[in-house]
Structure 1
Amino acid sequence: MKKKYHIQKSPFIVPTNDGKLIEEHFGLASDKNSAISIAHMIAPPKWSEPFQTPEFDEYTYIIKGKKQFVIENEVVILSAGQSIKIEKNTRVQYSNPFEESCEYIAICTPAFSMDLVNREEE
C-alpha cells in the first residue's frame, strides 16, 4: 500500500552565487507537479535581490534575525517571530541590510518558479 505522506530528509539545495542558503523542502526543484513550494533560507548580512513582481503569493516567517522588504515603495522590516503574506503581482525587493544573518521559511503558492518571479535587471 502506498504511503499517503512523504518525509523530506534531503531538501534540494538551490545553487546561488550571492551567499544565500536555499533548502527547498517541497517545490518544483524536487517535484515537477508541486502546487506549493516550502523553503528554509538563510540570507547573509548585507544580502539583497533585485526587485521582482512574482506571479505567486509568498508567505515569509522569520526564525532568526531581521529581513527587509520594499513593497510597492514601502519599507517593511520583520523580526524573528513575525510573518508576512505578499500577494502575487506585487512589486517587491527582499534584502538583509543588517549585521546578522536572517533565517526564515518561505512558502509560495503556486510553487516558486524562475518563470513566474519576474526579476528586474539590475
Structure 2
Amino acid sequence: MTADHSPNQEQQYIRQQLEQELQSIQFHGHDDVLHQTHPESLRSRIHALWNYEFELSLRPIGITGALAAATFAACLILFNNNPNPPAQDPANPSSSDSQRQLIQIGGNTYWQDQYEQAVKHYES
C-alpha cells in the first residue's frame, strides 16, 4: 500500500483482506439459534422462557430501596407522635422514670421499685 491511496481506497482494501481471511469460516448453527429464539412447541417455549436472561440495574433498585426506607422512617416519625401520653397507673405511682429512685445495695445500683418487687418475690 502506498501513501497516495485515499482513506476510502484503504477501507476497501482492508475489507477485501478481511473477506478473504474469513471466507473459510462459516456459521452452521442457524437452526439451533432459530429454535431457541422462536420456539415452535409448547415444551420448547417453556424451555426458552426458563432460559430467559435479564439484567437488573442496581442503581434504580438501590434508589427505590432508599426512597422506600426514607418514606417508612418518615411515616414512623410523623404518625407515631402520640399527643396524649399514657396515663400513669394509680396503683403504681412510681412507674414514671422521673419519679423513680436509684438505690445502691452491695455495690450495685438498682431502681428502688424493681428491687422491692424482686425482694417480695424472693421472700414469698
TM normalised by structure 1 equals 0.23
Rg (Cα) greater in structure: 2
Higher relative contact order (CA 8 A, sep 6+): 1
Higher relative strand content:
1
> Which one has the bigger helix percentage?
2
